[in-house]
Amino acid sequence: MNKMTQADPAVVIDLIEAFRRSKAMFAAVSLGVFDRLAEGPADAKTLASDGDVDAMERLLDACVGLSLLAKEGNLYSNTATARVYLRRSSPQTLAGYVLYSNQILFRLWANLESAVREGSHRWNQTFGFDGPLFSHFFKTDQDMREFLLGMHGFGLLSSPAVAAAFDLSGFRRLVDLGGATGHLAMAARRRYPHLQAAVFDLHRVTEFAREFVPAGEIELIPGDFFTDALPEADLFAVGRILHDWSEPKIVTLLTKIHDRLPPGGGLLIAEKLLEDDRTGPVPAHMQSLNMLICTEGKERTFAEYKALLERAGFARAEPSKTGTPLDAILACKG
């Protein structure tokens, strides 16, 4: 039998259609479908408002097929998944990251070929502006808000597992560098009530974080971890930080953290780890390409992170696969 006839086209067809499924969800979130249905079931005409009813019905039926909506007669309602993760008012919402993906990442990914050829991010090619890396993410207050809401939603999925990945009971004060809305600091405090915790992040971010951090629960300290002195701590954390930067900047930051820690102090890292042979997992590969198009960084194996930690002076490090969107590494100062 011809070998070509044995090949299965299913994976290719699935990938051809994959962006269509994503975009259907993006559009439904952007158009407020799941927010409106939080008020109760509605038909396509109601949801279309002054728009095209037939086109809205097609989108709604597609969302039924994607298990995001349920349909009874001509009325649509949210599934449990949509109620929890796609309503903007849900405490666990991922809508912020969906909107960021729709408005920013979807357009950046359209220029992946250029990123691969040139080995650099695509902000200038896609949007026509350059500047410091996070000025792109935080170009306006709304851009910043949607990005941080997205990170908060993902953080709620991963931070409890990251906080539980190692025994942190011997530490007394955690400072989460670039900790945004405080999801990791709060998860650590829930697991270790004795632990003092703080978030050290840009001033605009700490002001926004006040919406999420209960008064007196987590200290919010404004600052830039590259240029400002770090607060006192015996445990620092960096979640989804190291993968943003080039190796020289990572070593600079890790060295700064190492030098600020007391003997026996620790660094908790939350990143998605590539397998040692780099054959997976697929989410880490996709995130590494995402880093290519929008940052200076990439995803790495544990061995690569360990080598960077050793260059910065850390005596030992161990990994933990959490089964969530982020894995964990604990490094200790000798």
Name which of 318, 291, 311, 288 is nearest 300 in CA terms: 288
Q: Is residue 107 part of a domain?
A: no
pLDDT digits 0-9 by tens, 157-212:
999 999 999 999 999 999 999 999 999 999 999 999 999 999 999 999 999 999 88
* 200-209 contact pairs (CB < 8 A, 24+): 200/175, 200/176, 200/225, 200/230, 200/231, 201/177, 202/134, 202/138, 204/138, 204/141, 204/144, 205/144, 205/148, 205/180, 208/144, 208/145, 208/148, 208/181, 209/148, 209/180, 209/181, 209/182
Residue 141 pLDDT level (bands cut at 50, 70, 90): confident
- Count of structural domains, the chain: 2
Q: Is 249 exposed, middle or buried (0-12, 13-18, 19+ CB in 10 A)?
A: middle
Same domain for 134 and 47: no
**pTM given for the model:** 0.92
The Cα–Cα gap between 153 and 211 comes to 14
Q: Is residue 262 part of a domain?
A: yes
Percent of the chain's residues with pLDDT above 90: 86
Same domain for 135 and 76: no
Active-site residue (options: 183, 243, 258, 285) = 243
Task: Check if the beta carbon of residue 177 is closer than 8 Å to that of residue 200.
Answer: yes
CB atoms within 10 A of CB 321: 14
Q: Residue 194's domain is classified under what CATH number? A: 3.40.50.150
Which token pair is 328?
A: 């964990």
Region 219-230: mean pLDDT is 97
The H or E element containing residue 174 is strand 173-177
Examine the residue annotation and report whether 136 is marked as an active-site residue of this protein.
no
Question: Could you say which of 31, 58, 85 is where a domain stops?
Answer: 85
The Cα–Cα gap between 321 and 14 comes to 28
CB atoms within 10 A of CB 327: 23
Q: Is residue 206 part of a domain?
A: yes
Mean per-residue pLDDT of the chain: 94
Q: What is the CA radius of gyration of the chain?
A: 22
Question: Could you say which of 58, 85, 112 is where a domain stops?
Answer: 85
pLDDT digits 0-9 by tens, 283-307:
999 999 999 999 999 999 999 999 9
Q: Is residue 101 part of a domain?
A: no
Same domain for 292 and 150: yes
Q: Which domain holds residue 310?
A: 123-332
Q: Is 227 exposed, middle or buried (0-12, 13-18, 19+ CB in 10 A)?
A: exposed
Q: Residue 43's domain is classified under what CATH number? A: 1.10.10.10
